[in-house]
Structure 1
Amino acid sequence: MRQDEVWDTEAAQRYDTPGTGMFAPEVLGPTVDRLVELAGGGRALEFAVGTGRVAVPLARRGVSVTGIELSRPMLDRLRSTVDESTIPVVVGDMATATAPGRYSLVYLVYNTISNLLTQAEQIDCFRNAARHLDPGGRFVVELGVPDLRRLPPGRDAAVFHSEPGYLGVDTYDLVRQHLVSHHFTFDGSGRVRLARSPHRYVWPAELDLMASVAGFDLESRHADWAGAEFTAESDSHVSVYRVR
């Protein structure tokens, strides 16, 4: 399953959920506040900018934002909100595409680095971030912590969310560190819509090694954008790397 098959027109049309989920003020507000702080008045580059969930409010806070995006349907949704002069976007893979200029901040949000399905591609993503950064610039990665403790012995699937009208199931390939998230949505007629997304999960320690290979040092790690302490029970982290 290629990423351009996952982030197609249908996915782009249903991605934005204003005011709820990832777009809820209590989720988006701390994200933008922290990125404004980390940009430090400089330019920011978002890898996999998508429909602009983060880039648009960040630009409205006065940060000069550029994006890289592989999915043209997602970019079309962004363009329905802001034009090229407000948030310029390079169409391409975040592991290899080059945006013009240099930046004080490059960032990846909401597990996006896991969309790269090999370790080599994920390392290339770090290297690409380093190529775009000013000396001392920062690369920020928001990523979930693999929750393999949910897997019963001998099983390779686990429910990660269940509510009326929706069921989320992850299936795991433990050898390749792959998982596929299966999203089942049920309507009132009894019909079921299935959407799937493949990922390569990464442990924090492996992420730090990738960063070191690409010339970064870990500056900070928190459990969320508001700065909560990262612990053994944290299900995600926001890691800030500084280029050497």
Structure 2
Amino acid sequence: MAQHEIWDVDTAARYDTPGTGMFSPEVLEPTVQRLAGLTAGGRALELAIGTGRVAVPLAERGVPVSGIELSQPMVDQLRAKVDAGTIPVVLGDMASARAPGEFTLVYLVFNTISNLLTQAEQVACFRNAARHLSPGGCFVIELWVPELRTLPPGQRATVGQVEPGYLLLDTYDVLNQRVVSHHVHFGDGTAAELFRSPHRYIWPAELDLMAQLAGFELESRHADWSGADFTAESGSHVSVYRLPR
């Protein structure tokens, strides 16, 4: 399925989980605090802004925030929270769409660069971020580390998460660096609801090379938004890339 088909009206309506999961204060507060510091008093642009999970609290801190978003239903959910004067959004692809003005920070959170399913599109996303930034500006990416060490030889799938009423199953195409996440929600009966999302996973070293092609240098990499050390055991990373001044 194409991304605009995945992020439809039904998905957008169910996306927000106020106070829990990725909307919980322990997840959001360190994210917003770090991003606010990286703006250095300038303007921020969120690629794939979605329903404003990060952009709304960042704007509430006084940071001027704009966005680019492919899905109109996701933008509609954002508009239920703030108007276009508060957080302007350009409807389009994060790898090519242009937002007006110049920014000191561009950011892309919660693994979303992997929604671009080819290496060429992912490189284009870096270059699009660079086009929006003033000299010395930074591009921040939050991304998971591919979990191929959990994939036994000959197996094509791993169980990523098991909770009451929820199961996450990831299927891999290691030749093309593709993974499809199958999110299964179920109750006490026999019925279940399936949501699938395709991704192209990126190793940290490959991500750094994409950044170099767009003129960035890696400034820092941590395991989370609070600044924990990134190690071989880290499941994700927050990487800050900066343009020369």
Equivalent residue letter for 1:58: L
2:239 is matched with 239
TM-score (norm 2): 0.99
1:13 is matched with 13
* Alignment partners' CA distance in 2, 1:35 and 1:124: 23
1:31 is matched with 31
SS of equivalent to 2:208: helix
- Spell out the pairing of 1:1-244 with structure 2 (5 A cutoff): 1-244=1-244
Per-residue deviation, residues 53-86 of structure 1 (Å, max 9, x unmatched):
0000000000000000000110000000000000
Equivalent residue letter for 1:71: S
1:120 shift after superposition? 0.2
SS of equivalent to 1:176: coil
1:190 shift after superposition? 2.1
Per-residue deviation, residues 105-150 of structure 1 (Å, max 9, x unmatched):
0000000000000000000000000000000000000000001011
> Runs of 5+ in structure 1 lacking a partner?
none
1:188 shift after superposition? 2.8
1:189 shift after superposition? 2.9
Per-residue deviation, residues 169-200 of structure 1 (Å, max 9, x unmatched):
00000000000000010023321000000000
TM-score (norm 1): 0.99
* Alignment partners' CA distance in 2, 1:59 and 1:189: 43
SS of equivalent to 1:189: coil
* Alignment partners' CA distance in 2, 1:174 and 1:189: 35
SS of equivalent to 1:171: strand
Equivalent residue letter for 1:227: G
> Runs of 5+ in structure 2 lacking a partner?
none
Structure 1 ranges of 4+ moved more than 6 A: none
* Alignment partners' CA distance in 2, 1:187 and 1:96: 41
1:5 shift after superposition? 1.2
* Alignment partners' CA distance in 2, 1:163 and 1:31: 25
* Alignment partners' CA distance in 1, 2:31 and 2:221: 14
* Alignment partners' CA distance in 1, 2:58 and 2:165: 33
Q: How many residues align?
A: 244
* Alignment partners' CA distance in 2, 1:103 and 1:164: 43
SS of equivalent to 1:49: coil
1:44 shift after superposition? 0.2
CA RMSD of aligned residues (A): 0.5
Equivalent residue letter for 2:114: S
SS of equivalent to 2:227: coil
* Alignment partners' CA distance in 1, 2:17 and 2:43: 27
Bigger shift: 189-198 or 229-238?
Answer: 189-198
- Percent sequence identity over aligned pairs: 70
